[in-house]
Amino acid sequence: MQKEELLHLHMLLVHIRKYYESTTGEDVTTDQYNTLRISPVHIHKNKVTHKKAILTLGNEIVQHIRTNHNPYIEYHADFSSEQIATEH
C-alpha cells in the first residue's frame, strides 16, 4: 500500500471514530493510539508508523463497540489484521 493510501485510510478511521462518537454520544477511549502521537496530517512520518496507528485505532474502535454493545457479528480473534489485509 502506498503512503498516500495509508494517510487516507488513517484519516478515514479518525472520521469514523468522530462520527461514531457524535451519533452515539459515547467517547471511544483511544489511549494506545494517543500514545503513538501521530495523526493523519503528520505526512512526514513513515509508512510503518501510519500503519501501526491505523491498526491501533481500528482495534480500539472495535474493542469499544464489542465491550459496550451486543455484537450481532461473531468476531474471530485468530485472524490477524495483517493476514486479513493481505488476503484482500
Q: Give domain limits for the chain.
A: 3-87
CATH code for the part of the protein at 3-87: 1.20.1270.110
pLDDT of residue 87 exceeding 60, the answer is no
List Cβ neighbours of 60 (8 Å cut-off, separation of 6 or more).
28, 29, 30, 31, 32, 33
Quote the pLDDT of residue 80.
57
**Which residue, among 18, 14, 7, has the nearest Cα to 42 in the 3D structure?**
7
pLDDT surpasses 50 at 63: yes
pLDDT tens-digit map of 7-59: 999 999 999 999 999 999 999 999 999 999 999 999 999 999 999 999 999 99
